[in-house]
Structure 1
């Protein structure tokens, strides 16, 4: 029997968490699923664990490949889709047992192309529900999708809060199910090229193809924030170049599908807001260079032509005073003050609940 849903799980060196992830998928109340787990060159026992579960449950298909990255692993998984719908799970996360049954009910009953749900961020000692800013049972169609979801994925505009934490809250792939026909020709862009936000580019294209999107306000997905934080805090060389590659790809999506002024304003604001992440990358503990070398990296960042141009139009009137100062120093290319504020931000992040 053809599966109703294909679940794609990219796996790399997560033996500590993998059993919880796989079991949460295999015990779903929706039994008519197939699970495609792609072992992305794991050097721990992740591959063996997958093989063990595949022997117990024929719905699990395991693919072993060399270590190429999460985008490449997802792309490999998508070559094997047989389900009418497709979804994704990160191998260090887990899901509630009725997640897919509840989401598929909505998708099938109302013929929805993409169904979203809420999620919970799982920290080491506590959990926190992510505020998606959407009403339960919300359904949007073509024009509304463009005006709301796609534009918000690009970035905020004047009158909206410039909160970097919310910048990509709708762009993740693992709290969504997609009609396969919508995304079967959509690929994930390699992180070697763009550094991060491969989900964002995937969803910008997928949402532009979708005729309908629904939201269910239930937090079925459990996102293990602790492990992600440790990975994201690692120093990433050439991040500025990769981030500009990402911006250019977003711009091409706008040029091709939308080409409206507010979207370019939103992209401009994304560029400005993105300097915090790029700055934190410079001051990360993994960047083993001295203070003067870091200052040179900061000055190179703040002197980037696209960033300088973006700051000429960046409106900070609605920001709190400390953020106004932060972005003022960035706009003024005051590397020393900008670097000091980055260290303060890093300290606050470390000790925030």
Structure 2
């Protein structure tokens, strides 16, 4: 008999996209599902949509809670889950109908604790295919690939055995709502779990923004959350070298520069500031229409926004850099 698979969907003010997400989940070819909708104090019509779907599909359970953030919502889903395998889906994303069936088949075939697949990045006018081939089965090597952003740390393109979430110290960090899934992925890998890879994409990660709306996503609040993440992960036993956090620190410095927070820029991570600014100076605009050369930056931290705003940052700020 096929195992029960739990799909955890944190929901917050997602009425615009929620039906698309839920329709893709309930129409999976794999039928033995438990679908947990964690309504995190939504202020729009999301709660009603969740309840309506629950009345139509007995596999859906809705948990309403006051707003606690995505990390607490994911953990609430873990606590309520009864499936032998678990996967997360974000409420503005969607999945192909055979995702669970194929990931589950791979997990059973190889007796894997975790199965990773490729995914799509969905922008307004284009779709990117993101290959996640780890090229290794060694969990410590995989862990470092995630830390260096060579692999995507999201829990949404990973089917995971319930036993992994039952391991000591494996839980979503409270009060940290950025990279929270990467944190848990690294915790699991530190416990030497078995990992399989399926070279297909099923998950559609909706980014959707354009350069004009990017500033809404980069705020001092989001930067502070990233700093809290670094403080949290720095004390974990799987961090063997401070250089493993370089990409995260660099992301913060770039964000500060984007917001023109020059005082803060000069105060944090002084050990890497000059190196980061040196990299920053190496970017240049190629043509009058703003096309930017592909940069040396690697990893998913930057992939979503470097191509969208790096040229405008350089044009506006090239003189400012020299004075730092």
TM-score (normalizing by structure 2): 0.79
Count residues in correspondence.
289
Counterpart residue number, 2:99: 99
Counterpart residue number, 2:272: 310
Query: For residues 176 and 314 of structure 2, what CA distance do their matches in structure 1 show?
Result: 23
Counterpart residue number, 1:275: 253
Unaligned runs of 5+ in 1: 156-166, 283-293, 324-340, 349-353
Does the 8 Å CA contact 2:121/2:205 hold for their aligned counterparts?
yes
Q: 1:244 aligns with which of 227, 233, 238?
A: 227
Q: 2:172 aligns with which of 188, 196, 218?
A: 188
**Mapping for residues 170-319 of structure 1, pairs under 5 Å:** 170-184=152-166, 186-190=170-174, 193-194=175-176, 196-226=178-208, 230=213, 233-238=216-221, 241-253=224-236, 256-257=237-238, 259=240, 263-280=241-258, 282=259, 294=260, 297-304=261-268, 307-311=269-273
The alignment status of 1:19 with 2:1, answered yes or no, reads: no
RMSD: 3.0
Does the 8 Å CA contact 1:279/1:342 hold for their aligned counterparts?
no
Per-residue deviation at 1:45?
Answer: 1.5
Per-residue deviation at 1:168?
Answer: 6.8
Per-residue deviation at 1:342?
Answer: 6.9
Q: 1:322 aligns with which of 275, 283, 290?
A: 283
Counterpart residue number, 1:70: 70
Query: For residues 346 and 180 of structure 1, what CA distance do their matches in structure 2 show?
Result: 46
CA separation of 1:268 and 1:2: change in aligned 2, threshold 3 A: same
Counterpart residue number, 1:108: 108
Q: 1:145 aligns with which of 139, 148, 166?
A: 139
Query: For residues 37 and 224 of structure 2, what CA distance do their matches in structure 1 show?
Result: 31
CA separation of 1:51 and 1:315: change in aligned 2, threshold 3 A: closer
Query: For residues 59 and 239 of structure 1, what CA distance do their matches in structure 2 show?
Result: 35
The alignment status of 1:129 with 2:129, answered yes or no, reads: yes
CA separation of 1:92 and 1:238: change in aligned 2, threshold 3 A: closer
Per-residue deviation at 1:177?
Answer: 0.7
Per-residue deviation at 1:271?
Answer: 2.0
More helix by share: 1
Does the 8 Å CA contact 1:139/1:214 hold for their aligned counterparts?
no
Does the 8 Å CA contact 1:3/1:82 hold for their aligned counterparts?
no
TM-score (normalizing by structure 1): 0.73
Does the 8 Å CA contact 2:256/2:262 hold for their aligned counterparts?
no
Does the 8 Å CA contact 1:276/1:342 hold for their aligned counterparts?
no
Deviations 1:133-178 (A, max 9, x none): x17xx661xxx2212x2112222xxxxxxxxxxx374201100011
Does the 8 Å CA contact 1:168/1:200 hold for their aligned counterparts?
no
Deviations 1:255-296 (A, max 9, x none): x2363xxx332224542343113332x2xxxxxxxxxxx4xx
Per-residue deviation at 1:195?
Answer: 5.7
Per-residue deviation at 1:70?
Answer: 1.0
Per-residue deviation at 1:299?
Answer: 2.5
Per-residue deviation at 1:3?
Answer: 5.1
Deviations 1:221-263 (A, max 9, x none): 011111699587335335554433222222212xx2363xxx3
Query: For residues 268 and 74 of structure 1, what CA distance do their matches in structure 2 show?
Result: 27
Deviations 1:111-147 (A, max 9, x none): 1011011111111222121233x17xx661xxx2212
Deviates further, 217-226 or 231-240: 231-240
Deviations 1:90-130 (A, max 9, x none): 01111001001101111011110110111111112221212
Query: For residues 257 and 100 of structure 1, what CA distance do their matches in structure 2 show?
Result: 30
Counterpart residue number, 1:337: none
Does the 8 Å CA contact 1:116/1:177 hold for their aligned counterparts?
yes
Does the 8 Å CA contact 2:186/2:238 hold for their aligned counterparts?
no
Per-residue deviation at 1:79?
Answer: 1.1
